[in-house]
Amino acid sequence: MKTLLPSLAAAAALALLPASAAAQTNAGTTHIRHIFVSVTDATGAPVDGLTAADFTVGEGGEPRVVAKAGPARDPMRIALILDTSDAAAPALTHMRAGALAFLDALPPEDEVILITTGRQMRVRVPPSTDRKKLKDTAAGLFTDGAGTVLMDGLLEIDERFFKQADDRWPVLVIFTSDGTEASTGSREKEFMKWAPRLGTRGITAHAFVFKTPKGSGMPEIVAENLTHNSGGRYDVMNTTTALAEKMKALGEQLALDHRNMRMWYALDIQTDSPGTPPLDVAVARDGVRLQISNSRR
């Protein structure tokens, strides 16, 4: 079995720091920051038809190029990540029920990837809108044993399913125990750099953590890290009896957020800042009102 390097606990704790503190080594590198802007007129009605040329953006007092702007109407691509390790075995029945309740609550046009992380990261269903296939697969899950490979799985999910999907709203939904983290220790530096930038890339993470009597705590640190950096929901529980209800509520909230975001604009900003400095946004229209967010809400 792969074991976690001792230094990874310090690495994950460091990743909980704000992006500006944890990613200083990336300074000077140009990358894309995703932001979201609501533009309404004096009556509160959305202002349609704006393009990148209509927006002026400053970041920390520095002018930034708006590389792309358009309505935030992309369908969601949700990675539903379920822990099938030994530590999560007592929650297996509730986890299945939670997955089914979550899938039922989502809009039908949104894609879901079903993934398990017990012993190894396995893609059970690739990106799909086929709710029957997803639900049948989730209902048939069993424990795979060993530890969870949550960190390895997250990095692989991003590489395979998020980085090349610019036309999707990327969402991570995680159920994990706080048992043994069995990811490859050699990837800890990669994870440290990856985690703080999650929110600025427009990825939102939500996590449900099952506390166990002999948990290592590492998956819990990882889950808290991701939700902290992306503005997502973080829920820790000693029993999973209410998991289905909680996952259904999250699915309903995501559906509502998705509907609401269709009235916002998604902007891609070219920046060399490793953190998330304050933003100044202006629109070349008279009498409009703006709201700005670093994430979809």
Digit-coded pLDDT (tens) for 200-216: 788 999 999 999 888 77
What total of structural domains would you count in the chain?
A: 1
Three-state SS at 259? helix
Angstrom distance (rounded) from CA 252 to CA 263: 18
Residues 75-108: tens digit of each pLDDT: 999 999 999 999 999 999 999 999 999 999 999 9
Range(s) of the domain holding residue 153: 1-297
Listed in sequence order, the DSSP H helices in the chain are 8-15, 19-22, 92-105, 131-139, 150-157, 188-194, 218-230, 243-261
CATH number at residue 294: 3.40.50.410
Q: Which amino acid is at 13?
A: A
Q: Is pLDDT above 90 for 22?
A: no
C-alpha dist (Å) from residue 34 to 24, 198, 278: 19, 10, 13
Q: Is pLDDT above 60 for 3?
A: no
For residue 4, the model assigns a pLDDT of 43
**Which contacts of 239-243 are long-range, i.e. CB under 8 A and separated by 24 or more positions?**
240/90, 240/91, 240/94, 240/95, 240/98, 240/210, 241/94, 243/91, 243/94, 243/95, 243/97, 243/98, 243/175, 243/208
Q: How confident is the model at residue 13 (pLDDT cuts 50, 70, 90)?
A: very low
Angstrom distance (rounded) from CA 205 to CA 85: 21
Prediction pTM value: 0.79
For residue 146, the model assigns a pLDDT of 94
Angstrom distance (rounded) from CA 32 to CA 34: 6
Please state, as a whole number, how many other Cβ atoms lie within 10 Å of the Cβ of residue 228.
20
Helices 8-15 & 218-230 angle (0-180, nearest 10): 20
Three-state SS at 257? helix
For residue 297, the model assigns a pLDDT of 61
List CB contacts of 262: < 8 A, sequence separation 6 or more: 71, 72, 73
State the average pLDDT over residues 43-52: 92
| Share of residues in the chain with pLDDT > 70 (%) | 90
Q: 55 forms bridges with which residues in the sheet?
A: 283
For residue 28, the model assigns a pLDDT of 55
Number of continuous H segments (helices) and E segments (strands) in the chain: 8, 12
Virtual CA dihedral for 243, 249, 251, 256, nearest 10 degrees?
Answer: -170
Angstrom distance (rounded) from CA 124 to CA 114: 5
Q: Is pLDDT above 60 for 41?
A: yes
